Structure 1
């Protein structure tokens, strides 16, 4: 179930893990947080002096932990500012608004074996998987791909997984094809990380004859900027500019438009909006090729205009 009411919280602690990674812990202002499913994420609202960011982050705390939530965030140089604000300005004691936990990346209940493949910060949803898989006595293994200089950081985060977790640095890594070959029937694979890694996992699984239902991936999309454009809202006649550093969804929110969203990464389909006119640059993971060719739906959180303007059914 998707809950709309935001949760009021404050920053309880910030732990530097590496030059670009920080773990941030939140505590509720009142009571306790809702129980989160394995692989759940929260939407964090960051309020800067001149703009607001709403970013989705995977919870890294165990699902049953309700006195606090934690996320791990990488400071990305090419970010639109959210990760910079969190790393450079957020401090313990600051109030923060977060959305209730939502899971679009659950553990397959009927799987006989689980293969978890993470890349860089894509490890985060699996940190909430691990206590659940261990408690169930499930057969699993985790493969984390990262740079050599971050191997020690990720090894520390995976210490409790013991021999079930393998770290693959750049100079010592096993191919995903080798990992997925000769796995027993009923095995499911889960992947989260850079698009290239997830595409390689999916391609290797299909090449090895895996059924599509046994392949799961979590993507927070690519809400990168692009050429500026304008959006006309057909129902009100308003025109909203979208800058080169904004997503379409962010521009709508800045203009005070009630725009639906959930994952903010083009993975859930909640933000799909009907396009009346204009050409779309699709960047989502939910529309079919036929729907994309039709040019009548846009994922406002990640996709942009290929034309100078769009007209939306809003």
Structure 2
């Protein structure tokens, strides 16, 4: 699945320059969203299956650090293309990305193959995971906490532009700060999240840090000059710490709660929580935090505190509740085939 989706990603990116209208563009974007989601699930399930339980969260932290190095290189390439500013430069960048997907597929093909996981005699419906209410409750709560991405890349820039006297260039500086801190500290921040209780506590700490961001950011609307910049950096740092810790919590939950025999379905279902966040948070948090002039940040902070309070008992309930009938509950790693 991972290799097939990477090949489809390459083909879809290669098709971008040939799109001549909105309908074609929308079709490519939707297809890339589907293959991107499937790629993420396949990569995560493979990582969980191939590694020992105590290694999984750390390995995913290294993946996140590497991903942000890639973001930095991609931003540099994008800047060069914008400086050249020709149609062939833009087409060349898109085709270069398609080639990168092909190269990545080649590397994935060289990874050790895994034997099939032993499955129940009566296969579970692919949608049956949605009936696992304790697990889906955790997925929803954890998904809500991924709002730190929306806050950092969408809502905070809008707040800076409309409610502060800070220079617009600070937005780029804060994005760079995010990339650097994640590269440097993601692995360290992931310690202790390799079992379900530790992952739940990490998620709770992430929620509290997001709430702290919601309380600090509106202060920048009442300050001037260098003090505004200092407040924005402080708020951004709180949100970056939230991302570092909450991400580790989410990885720990996906590594420990899903049963081995249905890991793909469960990891995919877990991602529905973050997809719901992406659907409602951009408009919801913008309306609450930015459009209200600032007072809406306080109920937003209360919401994240509530999620933090609820997620630990929710994880405990999911952990002690048997998964669906007929599903093996082992979370052990699988020995690769040489």
Query: Same fold by TM (over 0.5)?
Result: no
More RCO (CA 8 Å, sep 6+): 2
Q: Which has the higher helix share?
A: 2
Q: Which has the higher strand share?
A: 1
Larger CA Rg, structure 1 vs 2: 2
TM-score scaled by length of structure 2: 0.28
